[in-house]
Structure 1
Amino acid sequence: MTRRPTLAALAVTAVLLSACGTSETASGNDEGAGDSETVVVGSANFPESEIIGNLYAQALEAAGFTVETRFGIGSREAYIPALQDGSIDLIPEYTGNLLTYLTEDTSVVSAADIEAALPDALAERDLTMLEPAEAQDSDAIVVTAKTAKDWGLTTIGDLAGHNDQLVIAGPPEMSKRPAGLPGLEKNYGVKPTEFMPINDGGGPATVKALVGGKATAANIFSTSPALHANDLVTLEDPENNFPAQNVVPVLTAEPAAEQELVDALNEVSAELTTEDLIALNTAVSGDQKQEPEQAAKEWLQEKGLR
């Protein structure tokens, strides 16, 4: 959290994160936090993260905080260091993948066990978490209905019999992350003949590669509206290669000490469900093409949080 007298530091941050979407909104609410401090909310570079970032930012604004947003930063390899160096104060995260990133331990897969292990892993980097939401958005390996039928696919492991024809599309970091290609090979014997890196977090370009036949399988999030819209098939993951992924606010120590900030974010988490995520994603990425900011605003109003 950045105090107003140190705005020069924000200028440095603006240069460092100049590639990211940036905005600042001064709250007109004189109660609560007032206008003496600025909370910088970040997001990863895919629509759902920006939607949740907007939920956090607008809830904090309603609680009286001045909020600056820095959305579209990139993957964990970019935004975790941004948290640690103070460039941002807060970002939405997913519990399972975050724990794997921090510890490289792929043995913890249940929501309860991940939630128990994550605080200590974050503390080692001087970071903390608040209450996770019920909402989950898990990684999934997805194929077209035709491929599922032609190859007789039900589980991820069924792909192993087609390694010589298998092209998997996914985010660039999937090639090295434990739950990515290394995990697919370790847990299922799945080793594609080609990996197609697409930097859109399982978004439209990834879906286009899959539906258009350039890829035969893809890493797409389980709350993506593209699954239903394109009649895609999510392969079962019986070995739990992909751990539980509850949405959770991750932040630095200074804002975590502000009880009003903590309360505002916990209220969002208490209301956010997986069904809400699907609806928000559909509003933004579906036919409505709603801006993430507007979708977040309407959800907060519906829940009485704005």
Structure 2
Amino acid sequence: MQDILHVLKTQGSDIIHSIGQHIGLSLISLLIAALIAIPLAIVLMNHQRSAKIMLQITSILQTIPSLALLGILIPIVGIGTVPSIIALVIYAVMPIFQNTYAGLTTIDPNLEEAATAFGLSRRMKLFRIELPLALPMIISGIRIAMVLIIGTATLAALIGAGGLGTYILLGIETNNNALLIIGAVLSAILALVFGAGIDWLGRLSFKKAGIVLATLVVLIGGFAGYRKIASPETTITVAGKMGSEPELLINMYKDLIEHDHPRMKVATKANFGGTSFLFKALKSGSVDIYPEFTGTVLESLVKGEKSASHDPAKTYQVAKSALKSQYQMAYLKPMAYQNGYDLAVSKSFAAKYHLRTVSDLVAVEGKIHAGFDPDFYQLKDGYPGLSKTYNLKFASVKTMEPSIRYKAIANGKVNLVDGYTTDPEVQEYHLVTLKDDKNFFPPYQGAPLMTEKLLTAHPELRPTLNKLAGKVTTTDMQKMNYRVTVKHEKAATVAREYLKNHGLLD
């Protein structure tokens, strides 16, 4: 409780901003979904076969996993609010359409006949008889859609749309239960509040409910328009993968750019997702810069290239050349530290089976229950390549987010995890890292990755970001990661402090 109160006290304005983002995202999505689903149900109310086909289509769309849907939308419409709203609308259409159609088609036929007998036109019958009688069912569908939207909108933080999902993701990634609870509880409260508001709307007359909805549309549209005019568009978008380390790096990039170029605005998108997810966003122009590692470039991003050697300098040059020739991307100078993959086991497990190297795992592979990061599990420089090089086949492998896998090994749920050489959890949980005795893992040095087009438009970015070249040692990064992940300090604060202490900021 003390941690929660501390977060509320120190990050109150940020939390309020995230609540506003979540509400705006949810209301806009709900209104668009209602404007699509309700008229569609009205049009199809007398066409049963077409209505059934539409119900099947909306049901199928709702079964698409939200992360997969976001991944599909990013190359088409970019990142941020637009793909998030599209995904939420897709999920919300089905319950509103289903309930509206059910409400309109279950009206007592005697009332329909009476309306016709009194000479009511089709339009008058719709607005005076059918829609008022169907309103309770329509409101019920809207309420279901609203709860669904608020819950699903937490995933919008993965693609830079903000909202309360930011705190849930940060809580998971930094092992900070206070952030996790704040994000989850506030999302639940929003669902309850808006559910109650929609119930109140349902008790109004059809005319009054229409006035309230019209007013809401005008207010949201006016506010969105005002923000568009009042807030200039951000020039540079800097994104990072999941975890504390990428968040530290993107905040360093932001501070350096804004310090050297005060007229240039920068937005950071932390915890954006995995490698392929982020690289697609960079290619589509949705992201301008993100930190990438040399080994990952050669093993997972470029085609037909392998690490020239285990010399970090040579590996960087090969990665830089391949990115430029294949994708017209600029890869600036790397930092000093290497954040390579490693495999870790508990001290007791290592002692019991005399494990010191990765090759030692062959003798006990049938006893290994691994917990791997999704990236490590699927990319060539991770488990697929490792298992081939060492001829390993573990008893079971589960994928889980970085902070969760360390908790899993600490609680005995798994007995082997992947990690990075700069992870503070190795020390926190007293784990033993196994030596890569066949030198499978290539060098991993982090450096800013961007398109050549951006660098041509803004050549001033090169000297600014190259200030980090050769800086940030492994010890530096371990200490900063520890402060963010274990001590729960803000990544932006820790990053700025490092830059000031090393003379890179005033």
Per the TM superposition, whether the score is higher than 0.5 is yes
Q: Which residue, 223, 230, 253 being the options, matches 1:56? A: 253
Per-residue Cα deviation, 1:279-299 (whole angstroms, up to 9, x for no partner): 11011012x210111111111
- In the TM superposition, what is the alpha-carbon distance from 1:179 to its structure 2 partner? 2.4
Per-residue Cα deviation, 1:253-304 (whole angstroms, up to 9, x for no partner): 2332333211111002332221111111011012x21011111111111112
Distance in 1 (CA, whole Å) between partners of 2:432 and 2:372 is 16
Distance in 2 (CA, whole Å) between partners of 1:217 and 1:104 is 31
Q: Which residue, 273, 279, 301 being the options, matches 1:74? A: 273
Distance in 2 (CA, whole Å) between partners of 1:37 and 1:12 is 14
Distance in 1 (CA, whole Å) between partners of 2:408 and 2:378 is 21
Summarize the Cα distance change of 1:74–1:52 in structure 2 as closer, same or farther, 3 Å threshold.
same
1:251 aligns with 2:458: no
Q: Which residue, 156, 171, 175 being the options, matches 2:373? A: 171
Letter in 2 for 1:282: Y
Summarize the Cα distance change of 1:152–1:255 in structure 2 as closer, same or farther, 3 Å threshold.
same
Q: Which residue, 327, 330, 338 being the options, matches 1:136? A: 338
1:189 aligns with 2:391: yes
Structure 1 partner of 2:243: 46
Distance in 2 (CA, whole Å) between partners of 1:122 and 1:22 is 28
- In the TM superposition, what is the alpha-carbon distance from 1:97 to its structure 2 partner? 1.5
Percent identical among aligned pairs is 27
Distance in 2 (CA, whole Å) between partners of 1:155 and 1:230 is 19
Letter in 2 for 1:231: H
Letter in 2 for 1:110: D
Is the contact between residue 130 and residue 249 of structure 1 (CA under 8 Å) also seen in structure 2? yes
Distance in 1 (CA, whole Å) between partners of 2:246 and 2:375 is 17
Is the contact between residue 91 and residue 249 of structure 1 (CA under 8 Å) also seen in structure 2? yes
Structure 2 partner of 1:275: 475
Structure 1 partner of 2:411: 212
Q: SS where residue 68 of structure 1 aligns? A: strand
Summarize the Cα distance change of 1:106–1:239 in structure 2 as closer, same or farther, 3 Å threshold.
farther
Distance in 2 (CA, whole Å) between partners of 1:150 and 1:135 is 33
Distance in 2 (CA, whole Å) between partners of 1:37 and 1:181 is 38
1:117 aligns with 2:314: no
Is the contact between residue 79 and residue 281 of structure 2 (CA under 8 Å) also seen in structure 1? no
Distance in 2 (CA, whole Å) between partners of 1:280 and 1:13 is 28
Summarize the Cα distance change of 1:45–1:22 in structure 2 as closer, same or farther, 3 Å threshold.
same
Distance in 2 (CA, whole Å) between partners of 1:107 and 1:82 is 25
Letter in 2 for 1:46: G
Larger CA deviation: 89-98 vs 105-114: 105-114
Summarize the Cα distance change of 1:260–1:131 in structure 2 as closer, same or farther, 3 Å threshold.
same
Is the contact between residue 331 and residue 450 of structure 2 (CA under 8 Å) also seen in structure 1? yes
Distance in 2 (CA, whole Å) between partners of 1:37 and 1:174 is 33
Is the contact between residue 168 and residue 215 of structure 1 (CA under 8 Å) also seen in structure 2? yes
TM-score in terms of structure 1 length: 0.86
- In the TM superposition, what is the alpha-carbon distance from 1:132 to its structure 2 partner? 0.8
Per-residue Cα deviation, 1:91-138 (whole angstroms, up to 9, x for no partner): 011111221112375554431231121123212112110001111111
Per-residue Cα deviation, 1:218-262 (whole angstroms, up to 9, x for no partner): 001111111111111110002112111111110112332333211
Structure 2 partner of 1:31: none
Summarize the Cα distance change of 1:98–1:267 in structure 2 as closer, same or farther, 3 Å threshold.
same
Gaps of 5+ in 2: 1-76, 85-155, 163-231
- From the two aligned structures, give the one with the greater strand fraction: 1
Summarize the Cα distance change of 1:13–1:187 in structure 2 as closer, same or farther, 3 Å threshold.
closer
Q: SS where residue 413 of structure 2 aligns? A: coil
Q: SS where residue 244 of structure 1 aligns? A: coil
Is the contact between residue 137 and residue 222 of structure 1 (CA under 8 Å) also seen in structure 2? yes
Summarize the Cα distance change of 1:113–1:270 in structure 2 as closer, same or farther, 3 Å threshold.
closer
Per-residue Cα deviation, 1:150-199 (whole angstroms, up to 9, x for no partner): 0100101101111111111111233332222222222212211111101x
Q: Which residue, 78, 83, 108 being the options, matches 1:16? A: 83
Q: Which residue, 359, 368, 382 being the options, matches 1:180? A: 382
Distance in 2 (CA, whole Å) between partners of 1:91 and 1:146 is 39
Distance in 1 (CA, whole Å) between partners of 2:428 and 2:392 is 27
Summarize the Cα distance change of 1:188–1:52 in structure 2 as closer, same or farther, 3 Å threshold.
same
Q: SS where residue 285 of structure 2 aligns? A: coil
Distance in 1 (CA, whole Å) between partners of 2:483 and 2:383 is 31
1:232 aligns with 2:299: no
Higher Rg of the two aligned structures? 2
- From the two aligned structures, give the one with the greater helix fraction: 2
Is the contact between residue 91 and residue 251 of structure 1 (CA under 8 Å) also seen in structure 2? yes
Distance in 1 (CA, whole Å) between partners of 2:336 and 2:240 is 19
Is the contact between residue 141 and residue 218 of structure 1 (CA under 8 Å) also seen in structure 2? yes
How many residues of Structure 1 are paired with residues of Structure 2 in the alignment? Answer: 281
Summarize the Cα distance change of 1:187–1:78 in structure 2 as closer, same or farther, 3 Å threshold.
same
Letter in 2 for 1:56: Y
